[in-house]
Amino acid sequence: MASEREVRARLQRAGQEHLLRFCAELAPGPRAALLAELAPLEPEALREHCLRAAAACAQPSGPQPDLAARLQPLPLERVGSVSRVDPDTRRSWEQEGFRQIALNKVAVLLLAGGQGTRLGVTYPKGMYRVGLPSQKTLYQLQAERMRVEQLARERHGTRCTVPWYIMTSEFTLGPTAEFFKEHDFFHLDPANVVMFEQRLLPAVSFDGRAILERKDKVAMAPDGNGGLYRALADHQILEDMERRGVEFVHVYCVDNILVRLADPVFIGFCVLRGADCGAKVVEKASPEEPVGVVCQVDGVAQVVEYSEISPEVARLRTPDGRLLYSAGNICNHFFTRGFLQTVTREFEPFLEPHVAVKKVPYVDEEGTLVKPLEPNGIKMEKFVFDVLRFAKNFVAFEVLREDEFSPLKNADTADRDTPTTARRALLTQHYRWALQAGAHFLDEEGAWLPEPPGLSPDEDPPAVCEVSPLVSYSGEGLEVYLQGRGFQSPLVLNEDLARVLQPQES
């Protein structure tokens, strides 16, 4: 291990020697821990990181004045839609997706390195329960959606595996690994659940100084979901995929309660289009919705943050009344393994970090812990979608928000993306599935509840219905259990109830 003298000399070269200002008063254990944390930081890289963070934060934010002339929506030939396509074409996409899964060519990669600060929890977001009748966590829901393997086996009569790669951080790796062990990996083969860590970067003050979180610890933060590309190289993940025969990777973010892992329709669409990179999008709910837009800048595909687009441009509409820039980014991507290899080898150094201004706890000059009430620090993050511009054949795939996108980002004190909105989105979806499968819901007296003419995203459905992903992946096959039957709320259709409801063969 590097000595204190060596670490101090390296920090001096980086202009960050203040990180050792309490070193002399630390006990041997905390002192060793601090030195171990600081030793791997390269002086030049640390200096550049701090200078870049302060300079980027000082840049004015807001709409880019010259952007409107450079901006274009994606060409129609690069966009597919699950709702504006004929059934035969959609079926061909799904068939191709299942074929690739059956050939063991598809993997899923979960981005789970964030700390869940806005949600107000101290554990990984994937361990969160939004209050479903089953009390399932996000991790469990996602693990059970690996049922897509079984659907592929049934279609093609072959055993197949979809490996699940989970990118964690220093903050989430230990709790996530322990959680999966406690739950027996949700009946998945542990050999096919591969966890790896992304890198951490120091948080930086507005004047370019790395922040001490405690006397013996630097305030570190994950390097954003775009840290994926360094992490793939750091942990030889692409080599592992190659050994398994994986050619196509579905990448998604942990917080979307409606996410469809290894979605065969999306995979098939991208493969049949010959895409090396794809993005699922949803139609923006309004010009003001704070989501990035998948579009073209100077003819190159990329995601433009909502804050960079002027209100006037955001409100532009097509002749049929839709927003011109309507393709909302939902952090849900398709990549070929070959494209990921090219990115990690050639393009990762060209990814520009983004500024995130945060409230970062720190120790003051007297060593007193301060929890700031206002943002005081900068975390530099790369975004997973920053590689879109390097694709040779990029495609976008529009899905319905009510079917596939409800993120969990904030505590219930917020007005959007909360446990309440996530729970409501899933239960409303499952209620719709039940009605479509021919179920009826009964009130306490046994009378039929009238079916509503429409379901508002701001209201709970008339009855509570939760369908286990182990019973149905995306609403398919429910008629055998539900058709013509009446149920009182709540209905939790799990594997046990499905066995009871399954008609007995004569």
**Residue 435: its pLDDT value, please?**
96
User: Taking the chain (506 residues) in consecutive chunks of 10 residues, what is each chunk's mean pLDDT?
Assistant: 87 94 93 92 92 85 77 95 95 98 98 86 94 98 97 96 96 96 98 96 94 95 93 98 98 98 98 98 94 94 91 93 95 98 95 89 93 92 95 98 96 94 97 96 88 84 96 97 95 96 73
Q: pTM here?
A: 0.94
HSE-up of residue 72 (Cα within 13 Å, Cβ side): 11
* Rounded Cα distance, 387 and 343, in Å: 7
As a whole number of angstroms, the distance between CA 68 and CA 309 comes to 8
User: Does residue 312 come out as left (phi exceeding 0), alpha (psi in the -120 to 50 range) or beta?
Assistant: alpha
Helical pair 4-14 and 28-38, crossing angle rounded to 10 deg: 40
Q: Spell out the residues 6+ positions from residue 86 whose beta carbon is closer than 8 angstroms to its own.
A: none
Please state whether beta strands 79-81 and 193-197 pair in parallel, antiparallel, or not at all (unpaired). unpaired
- Whether 327 and 294 have beta carbons less than 8 Å apart is answered as yes
> What pLDDT, on the 0 to 100 scale, is given for residue 62?
67
Alpha-carbon distance of 359 to 205, in angstroms, equals: 10
Asked if residue 494 lies in contact with residue 471, where contact means CB atoms within 8 angstroms, the answer is yes
Residue 189 and residue 148 in contact, taking contact as beta carbons nearer than 8 Å: no
Helix H, strand E, coil C: the string for 84-122 is: CCCHHHHHHHHHHHHHHHHCCCEEEEEECCCCCCCCCCC
pLDDT of residue 1: 66
Quick one: pLDDT at residue 232?
98
User: 384 with 274: CB under 8 angstroms?
Assistant: no
E-strand spans in 305-392?
327-336, 354-358, 362-363, 369-370, 377-381
The Cα-based distances of 27 to 23, 75, 85, 214 in angstroms read 9, 62, 66, 13
Phi, psi values for residue 89, rounded to 5°? -65, -45
User: What tokens were used for 498?
Assistant: 């499905």
Residues 468, 141: Cα–Cα separation, whole Å: 8
Which domains are present in the chain? Answer: 67-404 (3.90.550.10), 438-501 (2.10.10.100)
* AA letter at 206: F
Which pLDDT does position 451 carry in this prediction? 85
Q: Give the per-residue pLDDT at 506.
A: 46
Residues contacting 85, CB < 8 A, separation 6+: none
365 burial type by CB count under 10 A (0-12 exposed, 13-18 middle, 19+ buried):
exposed
Q: Is 485 helix (H, G, I), strand (E, B) or coil?
A: coil
Beta bridge partners of 80: 397
| DSSP-assigned states of every residue in 140-194 | HHHHHGGGHHHHHHHHHSS-----EEEEE-TTTHHHHHHHHHHTGGGGS-GGGEE
Q: What is the pLDDT of residue 306?
A: 87
Write down the pLDDT at residue 198. 96
The single residue listed with the structure tokens 């200096």 is 47
Token pair recorded at residue 236: 């030889």
Cis preceding-peptide flag for 63 (omega within 30 of 0): no
Structure-block tokens of residue 402 = 């009510």
Amino acid 505: pLDDT: 61
* Half-sphere exposure of residue 55: CA atoms within 13 angstroms, side-chain side: 8
Token pair belonging to 147: 């049922």
Question: Residue 456, exposed/middle/buried by CB under 10 A (0-12, 13-18, 19+)?
Answer: exposed
Length of the chain: 506
- CA distances 37 to 15, 30, 380, 396, Å, are 17, 11, 18, 41
Report the alpha-carbon distance of residue 211 to residue 203 in Å, rounded: 6
Using the 8-state DSSP alphabet, how is residue 490 labeled?
P
Q: How far apart are CA 114 and CA 107, in angstroms?
A: 21
Q: Which residues have C-beta within 8 Å of that of residue 109, sequence separation ≥ 6?
A: 164, 165, 166, 167, 228, 249, 250, 251, 252
**Closest by alpha carbon to 110, among 217, 256, 319?**
256
